Amino acid sequence: MPSDRPHTPLLDCITSPADMKPLSNIELKVLASELRAETISAVSETGGHLGAGLGVVELTVALHAVFNTPKDRLIWDVSHQCYPHKVLTGRRDRIRTLRKGGGLSGFTKRSESPYDPFGAAHSSTSISAGLGFAVARDLGGAPEHGLGDVVCVIGDGSISAGMAYEGLNNAGHLKRRLIVILNDNEMSIAPPVGAMSSYLSSLYAGAPFQEFKAAAKGAVSLLPQPFQEGARRARELVKSVTVGGTLFEELGFSYLGPIDGHDMDQLMAVLRTVKTRADGPVLIHAITKKGKGFAPAEAAADKGHATAKFDVATGKQNKPPSNAPSYTKVFAQSLIKEAEDDPLITAVTAAMPDGTGLNLFAERFPDRTFDVGIAEQHGVTFCAGMAAGGLKPFCAIYSTFLQRGYDQVVHDVALQRLPVRFAIDRAGLVGADGATHAGSFDIAYLTNLPDFVVMAAADEAELVHMVATAAAIDDRPSAFRFPRGEGVGVDMPERGIPLEIGRGRIVAEGDSVAILSFGARLSECQKAAEALATKGITPTIADARFAKPLDRDLILNLARDHSALITIEEGAVGGFGAHVAQLLADEGVFDQGLKFRSMVFPDTFIDHDSPAEMYAIAGMNAPQIEAKVLEVMGVASLAERRA
């Protein structure tokens, strides 16, 4: 073990959760301390989600000490907090491969381990999935490893989403034994308090479950006065508007809490009691601190939510210098400029202000920025209402998360032809977050909608113009997509100029074969053209700009003037290329013998890796584009015959 790795003698003895069963509470506290150090050390080498995992270290240890995983199913909502869980479940030897090609996923993944019973990365799914496991258990389901208790760990942000409440409502109605832990890191709680800790520990001795529940409620009085008020405020989180109980109790859950999620004695007492005596759905409300135990994370505004590789001693992140502005920042700055001249422009995000760049917009226009929380469905319809009310909303949601609001896009926006403007970040393959965060499907699911304008930026300068274009479109919905990461380094315009709707552009004139790019693969097409030039082939390169409406004249002219046409897009089959093929078929172009190929993502989910490697797997880097041109022109097969 390298000398800079933490000293973890107890953790070194843990090869699976079964090794934790004989440990005392005192030993479990030591184990938690070592696990926290190991998590910090590992993420310093890999980058990733740090704060969420540090906030659940004690909870992770307690859960694996009390429950019998993998028979007992432990489901982590979102699961970006699962790194400590992976260390304890036989994956410590690979923990420093997190989010790397061929390494561990940054989220739970069924194919990776039996201790990951349900994959996640999007929020608010755990309770619905957990209830499904509980019903399967009670109706005789017999998967590998069996089926025992079901424990769902969900954060206070995730539980705000509608799907979580749908799951809670159904679980309360079915009355199956199901344990939900609300990991609440929004509120603060005192350091471990002796009186309350001791009191809860003593309850395990023999009180019936309902007496335990009642006593736990009253235990707040054992806290010092300043902390009593904090605990009462914590309970207000779940108070219903009706008199006589909490919202969770009204939904049919037994509610326990709030408890200190960093106090091992409290956690063990409550979890053991619930495991022994619960006879229906139970919700345990645990207060935790995101980034717990690592000062730089605790001090950060996002509590170390997502980090690059960093120095453990200082917390300083090792970010490589950028050569061009990020697409996200270009979008935000462009939107700010548009909003300076138009007081009707508003911006909406679903719990991702920093990721979408709207934190910058909020600094300039706080009254016109709305973070709706993890509520994409609401966010889309909220924008539809604003558009119907005469405002100009920009709905900034990652491609992968916009999937969660698709019915609202169709029913509330497109059907009513409301001018909501969708700013779709993280289009295409995104790297370390992998398949769960890839923006693969938005081209296909938006271009199928009538009267919907769909654009894709080929570079950061084009993005500036597309923001201006969207701002100018006021008679129908529109969307513009752009990738994660930095731009390609082109000259930037001072202000965006609205593009003519449905008009692309010729980037380079050539002959014989034309490459029609939609989106950010344009630079790879240009690299491929340079390589082809050395072989005496000069393709025409065009930037479609619009997948809907298509530039009919551009496409038909390319088909007329070339013997072969290749489309390329950063998306699944059924998108831009499919619409081009439909146009060509309708116009009878294929009857004239045009050779046509459409380069799209393969029909598989591509695992996490660097973006360059993921695009190589997808066959969309310059060498693969070059090979496709040679293949369609018959050059490759001719060379093979000569060989």
Domain boundaries, the chain: 11-299, 327-481, 505-642
Predicted local distance difference test score (pLDDT) of residue 173: 96
Predicted local distance difference test score (pLDDT) of residue 195: 46
Q: Assign 620 to helix, strand or coil.
A: coil
Predicted local distance difference test score (pLDDT) of residue 233: 54
- Return the closest-CA partner of residue 545 out of 573, 509, 519: 519
- What does the block give as tokens for 110? 């069924």
The CATH label, of 3.90.550.10, 3.30.2320.80, 3.40.50.920, 3.20.20.70, for the domain at 505-642 is 3.40.50.920
Predicted local distance difference test score (pLDDT) of residue 204: 41
The amino acid present at 511, given as its one-letter code, is D
Predicted local distance difference test score (pLDDT) of residue 194: 43
- Distance between CA 78 and CA 155 in Å, rounded? 9
Give the pairing of strands 564-569 and 513-518: parallel
The amino acid present at 102, given as its one-letter code, is G
Give the pairing of strands 453-456 and 546-548: antiparallel
- Distance between CA 107 and CA 122 in Å, rounded? 10
Buried b / exposed e along 441-463 (16+ C-beta atoms within 10 A): bbbbbbbbbeebbbbbbbbbbbb
Note the pLDDT tens digit of each residue in 295-353: 888 888 887 788 889 989 888 888 888 888 999 999 999 999 999 999 999 999 999 99
State the catalytic residue, choosing from 404, 484, 521, 548. Answer: 404
Predicted local distance difference test score (pLDDT) of residue 190: 35
State the catalytic residue, choosing from 36, 290, 545, 628. Answer: 290
- Distance between CA 370 and CA 136 in Å, rounded? 40
Domain 11-299 sits in CATH at: 3.40.50.970
Residues in the chain predicted with pLDDT less than 50, given as ranges, are 187-197, 199-206, 237-245, 637-638, 641-643
Predicted local distance difference test score (pLDDT) of residue 208: 55
In degrees, to the nearest 5, what angle opens at C-alpha 409 toward C-alphas 406 and 411?
Answer: 105
- Distance between CA 43 and CA 82 in Å, rounded? 12
368 given a catalytic annotation: no
Q: Assign 508 to helix, strand or coil.
A: strand
Above pLDDT 70, what percent of the chain? 89
Residue 539: asked if its preceding bond is cis (omega within 30°), the reply is no
Residue 546: is it exposed, middle or buried by C-beta count within 10 angstroms (0-12/13-18/19+)? buried
**Number of Cβ within a 10 Å radius of residue 424:** 26
Sign, CA dihedral 467-471-474-477, equals positive
Predicted local distance difference test score (pLDDT) of residue 161: 85
Equal fold, 327-481 vs 505-642: yes
- Distance between CA 566 and CA 512 in Å, rounded? 11
**Residue 414, Cα to own-chain centre: how many angstroms?**
25
- Return the closest-CA partner of residue 598 out of 557, 561, 555: 555
376 given a catalytic annotation: yes
State the catalytic residue, choosing from 34, 38, 376, 570. Answer: 376
Q: What is the pTM of this model?
A: 0.89
Task: For domain 327-481, say whether CATH 3.40.50.2300 is its number.
Answer: no
Rounded to a whole number of angstroms, the CA Rg of the chain reads 27
Strand partners, 453: 478
**Number of Cβ within a 10 Å radius of residue 210:** 11
- Return the closest-CA partner of residue 600 out of 541, 529, 516, 537: 516
404 given a catalytic annotation: yes
**Number of Cβ within a 10 Å radius of residue 281:** 26
- Whether the Cβ atoms of residue 257 and residue 18 lie closer than 8 Å to each other: no
Predicted local distance difference test score (pLDDT) of residue 257: 79
